[in-house]
Chain A
Amino acid sequence: MGTRRDTALDRLADEDLVARVATGDAGAFEVVYDRHARVAFSLAFRMLGDRAAAEDLVQDAFLSVWRGADRFSPALGSVRTWVLSIVHHRGIDRLRSSAAAARRELALQQEAHVGDPPERTEDRAIDGALAPSLHRGLDDLPDDQGKVVRLAYYGGFTHHEISEMLGLPLGTVKSRLRLGLERLRMSMGAREALS
């Protein structure tokens, strides 16, 4: 959606908008929100599996963007990467605050296709983490790499937890994460340009 009126702010690059946000420009912040809220919300929902929790996470993350815009550094990546990393890290915090042991057990059950359909938030989150991706990228990875990348990024599990869950040496998990992400970087090389 987003048929926003055409203003001078709308024509600014993300980096210029964030520089204005750092000075307290609410109008510039609104443009940043309009550009990135949809993908942020979609990521939050994929991670948490619950609309209300995802809405709360997005609010929290964008207020962090508003209050911490002075910490954005273009040298570390695009505004979209920065915004999504805030959403992702806060989503991980929420996932990890739930019972870790229960999450691991549920993930293992779902990995083995055992158990009833998930109902609780953490069940849905793990289910979502292991679900096939929408289109490009992840589904092109070898299964062993795609699985660990999904568990890490969408499920919020550390490589130590993934190692324990899947009964793999930690080095193997790290190696699969690296190979998988490097392959994604090659296949999604144009993604950064979308921001």
Chain B
Amino acid sequence: MTGHDELRELLASVALGAATPEESDLVARHVAGCGDCRAELRGLRAAASGLALDVPQLEVPASVKASVMDVVRREAAAVAPPPVRAPGLRERLGALLPARAGLWPAVAAGLAAVVIGLAVWGGAFGGGGSVRTVPGVCTAAGVSCSAEVRGDDAVLRVTGLPALPAGRGYEVWLIRDGRDPVSAGFMAPGADGRLTAVAEGLDGVRALAVTPEALGNTSAPTSSPIVTVPLPAA
């Protein structure tokens, strides 16, 4: 077992990003229970971040901010997005969805208010209630997907997602009967291709779908989903 002194010797390497992932995990577990090392690591991290000030300071192109804020504002607005007709898409998405009567009928007017929370998710559901794991349909090689559903909330888990070029990301869509897909926001998979997202308040949502999209697009999917997870009726 790795001892206190040995782990303490690793703190500087962790703060500088020079430790291996395994060593970083060991240190993370250690500092969770060791106040002295936690305080020392905090100080060393601050010193390491000071190295960022030790380089020539450059102006950031305005286009970078514009691009970031475009995504941020669109995702912030996704709480109550307007309905947008997407001719032809329902057929592409519908082919991958479970056959249900009434799925993809004519566009209904308006959208019921729904609260969508989408975030990087580090754990499982808190509190009580039964959780059902629902397998999904994945069309891309090496990709697997499922959702853990409890009531109107779901945790979407996707693995094996390929990296996308700059300017593109994975967009999660909410699929309802008779409605066009609604964007729930962009998600960035980890370096291992793993994406985990939380969607809350899914009453009436029949499926979650994921498509690769240009960042900023929130109007409608532009390709067939590579992930579709049907949600059980409440």
Chain A residues packing against B (C-beta within 8 Å): 1, 24-26, 29-30, 33-34, 37-43, 45-46, 55-56, 58-60, 62-64, 66-68, 70-71, 75-78, 80-81, 84-85, 87-89, 92-93, 133-138, 149, 152-154, 156-160, 162, 174-175, 177-178, 180-182, 184-185, 188, 191-192, 194
Contact = CB atoms under 8 A, between A and B. Distances in A.
Contact of A153 (B9, B46, B48, B79): B48
Contact of B44 (A55, A84, A181): A181
Given A41-B64, A162-B18, 10 more contacts: A30-B69, A42-B56, A55-B63, A55-B64, A81-B46, A92-B17, A134-B54, A149-B51, A182-B12, A188-B47
B201 to A, nearest CB: 14
Contacts of A71: 120, 122
Could you tell me the dominant secondary structure of chain B's interface residues?
helix
B119 A45 contact: no
Given A66-B72, A68-B120, A136-B54, A160 B20 contact: yes
Contact of A194 (B53, B54, B58, B122): B53
A41 B122 CA distance: 27
30 contacts: A1-B59, A34-B65, A37-B65, A38-B60, A39-B53, A42-B57, A43-B51, A55-B60, A56-B166, A58-B64, A58-B68, A59-B166, A63-B71, A63-B186, A64-B188, A67-B120, A81-B49, A85-B45, A133-B54, A135-B54, A136-B54, A152-B17, A153-B18, A158-B19, A181-B15, A181-B44, A182-B12, A184-B47, A191-B53, A192-B50
B54 A59 contact: no
A135 to B, nearest CB: 7
A84 B49 contact: yes
Interface in B123-164: none
B2 to A, nearest CB: 13
Contacts, number: 184
Could you tell me the dominant secondary structure of chain A's interface residues?
helix
A177 to B, nearest CB: 5
B12 A77 contact: no
Closest A-B pairs by Cβ, 8 of them: A191-B50, A185-B47, A152-B18, A43-B52, A178-B12, A192-B46, A46-B55, A26-B76
Contacts of B11: 178
B115 to A, nearest CB: 11
Contacts of A181: 12, 15-16, 44, 47-48
B55 A133 contact: yes
A135 B73 CA distance: 38
A78 B46 contact: yes
A185 B69 CA distance: 34
A192 B56 CA distance: 18
